[in-house]
A and B are shown apart, each in its own frame.
Chain A
Amino acid sequence: MTKNLHIDVDERGYYGRFGGAYIPEMLHPNVEELRLRYREMTAEPEFKKEFDALLKDYVGRPSPLYFAKRMSEHYGTQIYLKREDLNHTGAHKINNTIGQILVAQRLGKKRIIAETGAGQHGVATATVCALVGVECIVYMGEVDIARQAPNVARMRMLGAEVRPALSGSRTLKDATNEAIRDWINNPDDTHYIIGSVVGPHPYPDMVARFQSVISEEMKWQLQEKIGRDYPDAIVACVGGGSNAAGAFYHYLNDDRVRLVSVEAAGKGIHTGESAATSVLGTEGIIHGSRTLLMQTDDGQIVEPYSISAGLDYPGIGPLHAFLIDSKRAEAISVTDDDALAAALFTARTEGIIPALETAHAFAALDDMEYGPDDVIVVCLSGRGDKDLAAFTTYLDQLKDS
């Protein structure tokens, strides 16, 4: 390391000026209990043992680090894929829900609530609730329920109740609002499993720690494959930013590694239908966290847009706001069309159908500069089965044009 970086959260949950816990008093006892206990609880040997065993035998970790030969030839560089799509339930989301269900058990909570956008976090939450046998309620925007039908069916199969969020843009932001309101109304028996590195402290840090297994494995996998334990760049998509947080985590303070955050530009950054928070966002409060978010001059949160339900969010986690603000990470915005093209390219070049969210990370390879010997890790955060309807429409359009 050539520079001394010290990127970490402080006791109050701030990364620089981003983070904190801007919550109504009704949520204070629950959030404070988590804040005081999460580090100690998750550091206990018994907790670690249980968490690691479930990740290994239930989730199927370690997830492979795969050298994408044909894709590397195409781009003229060395591309490795961190295969979070091969986890049980098909995305990185389960790393966090395994951790949080163990936390919920230790807190004595019998009822679990969650928000979901693409449905991957909802499925991962429904899965761990079935695993330990507790009630599960997942809030999902009405728009997302329609566009991610396969995941809705999976959640129901797993015994979860999917409640439509009918307010606002009826997407991830609104599902999160509804989950927060549920928690306010049910403070005693309920734990809220937030799916991303968003929300009031300690959620962003707690979720990042559970997801950090991604970069923990990358270190020894790279050592094995290329003889050094770091890549030149890590590319990950960012909605709230949990897979990116996990993929960046052990390299945050290693400035040999470029961190590339890929956002959804929707129909184009300046079309009014976008979710590119690093460009369009200003500092403010969303879901209890001080971060960058898309808002009007009058402080009303703007309804975002992306074809990808998981990236269709008007904010980013406070860690990512800090990384972008401090220029530690570079942000790239990718449109719907470029993401669809990248999904098709990935499918036909490597035989892997990525989630629409992840497809944004692949599309960013077109906009990056790198040398032939550079090692680039793309976090392949999820598989694309849930997006087949969108892909089919896209294929039909290609045929017609």
Chain B
Amino acid sequence: MNRLTKLFREKSSDLLNVYFTAGYPQLNNTVTIIRELDRAGADLIEVGVPYSDPMADGETIQKSSMKALQNGFTLKVLFDQLREARQHTEVPLVLMGYFNQVMQYGMERFVKAAKEAGADGLILPDLPVFEYENEFKHIAEKYDIQVTFLITPNTSQQRIEQIGQLSTGFIYVVSSSSITGKSGEITQAQKDYFARIAALNLPQPRLIGFGISDAKSFRTACEYANGAIIGSAFIRALAGRDDVAAATREFVESVLEPVA
């Protein structure tokens, strides 16, 4: 069974999904970070695939991606690292990258390699629904890789329903119309939007991402969805730290600690 399916059967609230950029801060930190995130209590992990032109990402993820590429990151390195991580952990792994990387590698070749390396899901923010249905869906289904789509405060009801029908993994509820890496208080307007999406009773679990950065925003997001995704805040916590294992543990602990 796909590890994501198993996870969502066993747990349906307070799911913590942590994003990190593969190959950052050092090329060989990927396995350590996956293992430590798992041990410290992340329920699933989003492995950012560094890309030269990440148009949906803010400065933090852009810079970590550039650093990873300078470190020598390639898809071959990534798949080797995932295989190694899989010898130690069964935590669900979702790859998040851009469609050009998949196209250039070869769509089927990429999905097959990802699956064999131990990935369970895929998020390609610039793969449109129409092209997904035409060119990609049958490949993802063949290899049992779950594909997640994003919805935003401006996504129409009709389109949310369409995405609800197509998403095989969880639904990524983008908290505000923005690129990644913003933080701050969750506003009432955002809460209303989360509640509106929750009321649709979509078949998939919903995880809220973009702007979730600490215990407080994580808890708030979990009130309106099955869990939340933290990315840029974790990348910032890794910056300048030599002991990435300790930095990872400390970060997850800080997110999971009870909020007064």
Contact = CB atoms under 8 A, between A and B. Distances in A.
B70 to A, nearest CB: 11
A185 B210 CA distance: 12
Given A25-B155, A285-B100, A177 B179 contact: no
A168 B66 CA distance: 8
Nearest to B57: A181
Nearest to A297: B104
Contact of A29 (B52, B69, B126, B155): B155
Interface stretch (A16-24, A225-233, A325-333, A358-366): A16-24
Given A20-B131, A284-B103, A181 B155 contact: no
B179 A187 contact: no
A93 to B, nearest CB: 23
A308 interface: no
User: Which residue, B75, B98, B156, has most C-beta atoms of chain A within 10 A?
Assistant: B98
A25 B152 contact: yes
A284 B100 contact: yes
A22 B100 CA distance: 10
Interface string B145-160: 0000111101110010
Interface string A300-329: 110000000000000000000000000000
A298 interface: yes
Contacts, number: 101
B55 A177 contact: yes
B30 interface: no
Nearest to A173: B53
Q: Is the interface of B mostly helix, strand, loop or mixed?
A: loop
A164 interface: no
A4 to B, nearest CB: 27
Contacts of B52: 168, 300-301
Interface in B48-84: 51-53, 55-56, 58, 62, 66, 69, 74-75
Contacts of A284: 100, 103-104
A26 B53 contact: no
A26 B150 contact: yes
Classify chain A's interface size: 20 to 34
Contacts of B102: 299
B158 to A, nearest CB: 11
B139 to A, nearest CB: 16
B99 interface: yes
Given A12-B130, A25-B125, A282-B104, A181 B150 contact: no
A271 B177 CA distance: 42
Interface of B: 51-53, 55-56, 58, 62, 66, 69, 74-75, 98-105, 125-128, 130-131, 149-152, 154-156, 159, 174, 177-179
- Please give me the 8 A-B residue pairs with the lowest Cβ-Cβ distance, nearest first: A299-B104, A299-B101, A285-B100, A25-B150, A24-B56, A300-B52, A24-B125, A29-B154
Given A168-B53, A284-B100, 12 more contacts: A24-B55, A25-B152, A25-B155, A25-B174, A167-B62, A184-B178, A185-B178, A187-B177, A285-B103, A287-B55, A288-B126, A298-B101
5 contacts: A24-B126, A28-B159, A184-B56, A184-B179, A285-B103
